[in-house]
Amino acid sequence: MNLIDLGWNQSFESNFNQFNDEGRYQVARVAVEYKGIYKLYTEYGEVLGEITGKMRYNEEFPAVGDWVVVSLQGLEDRAVIYHILPRKSKFSRNMAGTKNREQIVAANIDIVFIVTSLNQDFNLRRIERYLTIAWDSGANPVVILSKADLCDDIEEKKNQVEGVTVGVPVHVISSVENQGIGGLRQYLQQGKAVALLGSSGVGKSTLINNLLGKDKMKVNEIREDDGKGKHTTTHRELIVLEEGGVIIDTPGMREIQLWDNSEGLSSSFSDIEELSKNCKFNDCQHDAEPGCAVKKAIEEGELPEERLESYRKLERELLYIERKRKYGAQRAAKLMQQDIFGF
């Protein structure tokens, strides 16, 4: 395999050389993770690898898209993973449960395709959430509105999305009618990695099959009553494109928790952040304060009130995550209750 097609560059090379001063190791990119066993792509082809006991003890687990330092074993069909090279970007979410723990969905990505269908799955608030996490990843988001063949008000919905994406490219596609697929190929370049994110049933697997020109991904039918689909993709997978570059598919995630970075929130809601600069008070909460530019924009119909509520919800979620890390789940919940109810 050509490592450059897989995304190898001088930055990774420099980090690898610091580790490989004796020339005993090779590099590989993680394609799939199967319960502790990793499918890896190397310049020699595909191998299976396992992490060392030290990495397991330190809970250093590679994610799909990671570049790792390996030692090939036997006939070069097995490998031992010794180290994860520094990531240039990562798409993370907070794992469900009371523990505050990061789950890396995909690493070293350049573009995030946020896929949402134009049927019953259409949800502006979910798009805002995905955008916040995508901006946090360090990659550039692109919103894809799929299943245009099932929508009677395409332009209206696209306008709604463009109202919350603030400059992010928005593409309308139909895999059934091969509409808009060609416009996505501009993002599929040699050495670039594109990750697909979206709920189950929005057409991610069908889109990948169209981009590949073959039926690699299994596709399930959606339910007619609610437009929702089963989880066709059950694991994250890095797929190599013939023209160079890779696509990382992910399982459908209807609800996805934020991690802990507020930069993505500022980027996703840059319109509110910009309006806030004109508020009378620097610490304006955009509630009942006099001279609030955000409230004025809502009153004048320039900003939907639902967008401010979405901003507040995500802001509270990030604050809770930060407090949970510092004080634990029980204390964090108590503090949030005091903020909301005053006791």
> What Cα–Cα distance (Å) separates residue 293 from each residue in 261, 282, 285, 304, 306?
25, 11, 11, 13, 16
Residue 71, annotated as binding a ligand: no
CB-based contact 254:199 (threshold 8 Å): yes
82-97 as b/e: b if 16+ CB within 10 A: bbbbebbbbbbbbeee
Residue 203, annotated as binding a ligand: yes
34-59 as b/e: b if 16+ CB within 10 A: eeeebbbbbeeeebebbbeeebeeee
Residue 206, annotated as binding a ligand: yes
Residue 266, annotated as binding a ligand: no
- What one-letter code names the amino acid at 32? V
Element housing 159 (H / E)? helix 154-165
Structure tokens belonging to residue 76:
């070069």
Residue 292, annotated as binding a ligand: yes
Backbone angles phi, psi at 194, to 5 degrees: -115, 125
Residue 199, annotated as binding a ligand: yes
Residue 200, annotated as binding a ligand: yes
Separation of CA 204 from chain center: 13
225-240 as b/e: b if 16+ CB within 10 A: eebbbeebbeebbbbb
Residue 88, annotated as binding a ligand: no
Residue 115, annotated as binding a ligand: no
Residue 63, annotated as binding a ligand: no
Residue 204, annotated as binding a ligand: yes
Q: Which residues contribute to the annotated binding site for GTP? A: 146-149, 198-206
Q: Which residues contribute to the annotated binding site for Zn(2+)? A: 279, 284, 286, 292
Q: Which residues contribute to the annotated binding site? A: 146-149, 198-206, 279, 284, 286, 292
